[in-house]
A and B are shown apart, each in its own frame.
Chain A
Amino acid sequence: MYSNPQKTDAAAGTAALQIRDVRKRYGSLEALRGVSFDIAPGEFFALLGPNGAGKSTLISIIAGLVGADTGSVAVMGHDTVKDFRAARRKLGVVPQELVFDPFFKVRELLRIQAGYYGCGKESWPWIEEMLERLDLASKTEVSMRALSGGMKRRVLIAQALVHKPPLVILDEPTAGVDVELRRTLWAFMRELHAQGTTVVLTTHYLEEAQELCSRVAILDRGAVQVIEPTPQLLARHPYRFLRLKLAGGAQLPESLRELVTANVEGVMELKLETRRHPIGAVFEALRSAGLAIEDVQTREPDLEDIFIELTGHKAGNGR
């Protein structure tokens, strides 16, 4: 089992991940403009941001694939450059791209991967357990090149975990996977987290981050826009959404029209600022205009609304 690997580090008060003023340029493009934050052991953390925000670049720097221009990163207190061996033994990264080695079969590949980290036969039961949990048990002797995309994604996840790292970073693990596998992966990540692993996730499915992660950072154009616990971030948004359908397809009174953000076949969505437009006032306005409500629904703002508010972008394929 994957039992509480980083307890001792946590006791020492060391951050699972410490990022200090990391900058990276690609020619004239500033991919990261001084990123700093810490992730505590045991967190389930979401790193969000629109395409090109710099999420993967930051992860590549943490993993040692890319060199930062300035700044430093430490995994469980080990500098990723000066003390790279110790840092990498504590880190597992699932890359965004579906990369694989076509020469090997699934089980063979995972055993090799474990070997790189100095894990021998003692890691084999864990490999079998992961194969089982990730629904790859029937594919253990299949060549990597013969796997479907979703299966390759699962092997990538297993590869990142062979050495039982206390910090796991998953770069869009659920991109392009079907609904069932996504559920499986969520359950798997939750289980890892419950067993003491610090999990960092990037995703464009914001409801995924909202459901899984206790803290969120939003990166935009290479800088951290906001970093907050998920509930606080959600509470920041001072709006509620009200969906209305009026009897007989009637129009809204003049005073309410500016609040409409969508109108689909007579179902209107109103964006209400909590303090300026209490819901009661809306109903009052409708009543005094003599309008009858056929259907009504309210919606709390979700991470997607906040994301759009903060970055001015659509998150992509979220809903």
Chain B
Amino acid sequence: MTPDQLGFLTLLKKEVMRFWSVLGQTVTAPVITALLYLLVFAQAMAGRAPVYPGIGYTEFLIPGLVMMTVIQNAFANTSSSLMQSKMMGNIVFLQMAPLGPLQWFAAYILAAIARCALVSVAMVLATLPFVQLPVREPLAALAVFLLAAGSLAALGLIAGIVAEKFDHIAAFTNFLITPLSFLSGVFYSVHALPPLWFKASHLNPFFYMIDGFRYGFFGHGDVPIALSLAWSLGFFLLVSAICMWMLVTGYRLKR
């Protein structure tokens, strides 16, 4: 192993240890929240006409809920990690280390993906006694999962770089991530929306992540899977490019 590779793996390991040491907050809590949604909505919507023919509401709901949780946790992982390092000042140890921008980027993003994978598996396992989901297109589901977790982790890094205090991260979460993830067809098919909202949903990248992920399970979505993949990939490339630009130029981190 070269020193550069070891440096990168160490940062990745450190980032994984960080969320691992507080699993209660980083994995258990989001799983419980998602299960509560499932319980409440499955009860409330019981007896309604199925969204997709032959698929029960609870079944329909689970992939979307998993994806919503992935979106929120990927963002939370990188943004809070970076913000804490900035606030505690220990970010200097990383900045003084011989780690390049790409190593930073990859380590933070992969650690966030690892957390999201853990959360997703935990959610699917927890619901297994009640609902057995089909997995018709596993590759599509995996691709959308990786792109979504990667994009939101990169967005979290951007927020962590730009923010000057925790309030800024909270604002980012409350005014961008949470609303967009709720208004993305987790709880309904966008076809059930009034025309204006229907149109607006199609400008929300989270909508494609959720629809594409759901397609991976049912082989059926509101829009073609190619479109969902294209949007997810495009969004990932956009936020990654912005994030990398910030890391390369030292934007806000290097004074």
Contacts and interface: CB of A to CB of B under 8 A. Distances in A.
Interface of A: 60, 63-67, 84-86, 88-89, 91, 93, 95, 97, 99-104, 112-113, 115-120, 159
Contact of A113 (B3, B6, B18, B93): B93
Contacts of B92: 63, 65, 95, 99
Nearest to B5: A118
B18 A65 contact: no
B39 interface: no
A89 B98 contact: yes
B2 A112 contact: no
B224 interface: no
A60 to B, nearest CB: 8
A95 B89 CA distance: 10
A130 to B, nearest CB: 16
A118 B7 CA distance: 5
A99 B100 contact: no
A103 B98 contact: no
Contacts of A102: 88
Contact of B255 (A66, A93, A116, A119): A66
A100 B4 contact: no
A115 B9 contact: yes
Interface residues of B, number: 31
A117 B93 contact: no
Nearest to A84: B98
Interface of B: 1-7, 9-11, 13-14, 17-18, 21, 85, 88-90, 92-100, 250, 254-255
A118 B21 contact: no
Which DSSP category, helix, strand, loop or mixed, fits chain B's interface? helix
A115 B99 CA distance: 11
Nearest to B10: A115
A104 B16 CA distance: 12
Contact of A65 (B1, B11, B96): B96
Nearest to B4: A118
Contacts of B4: 85, 118
Given A85-B4, A116-B11, A101 B254 contact: no
A85 B93 contact: no
A120 B90 contact: no
9 contacts: A65-B254, A84-B100, A85-B100, A89-B3, A102-B88, A103-B17, A116-B10, A118-B3, A118-B4
B115 to A, nearest CB: 15
A-B residue pairs, 10 tightest by C-beta? A118-B3, A115-B10, A99-B89, A116-B97, A85-B98, A88-B98, A101-B90, A118-B6, A63-B96, A99-B90
Nearest to B19: A103
Contacts of B85: 101
Contacts of B1: 120
B254 A100 contact: no
Nearest to B250: A67
Contacts of B93: 99, 101, 113, 116, 159
Contacts of A60: 255
A120 B6 contact: yes
Nearest to A90: B98
Contact of B13 (A65, A97, A115): A115
Nearest to B3: A118
Of B5, B21, B96, most buried by chain A (CB within 10 Å of CB) is B96
Contacts of B2: 118
Contacts of A64: 95-96, 254
A120 B3 CA distance: 9
A104 B88 CA distance: 13
A101 B88 contact: yes
A88 B90 contact: no
A97 B3 CA distance: 28
Given A67-B254, A117-B97, 19 more contacts: A63-B96, A65-B92, A66-B254, A67-B255, A88-B96, A89-B3, A97-B89, A99-B89, A99-B93, A100-B90, A102-B88, A103-B18, A112-B10, A115-B11, A117-B3, A117-B7, A118-B7, A119-B3, A120-B1
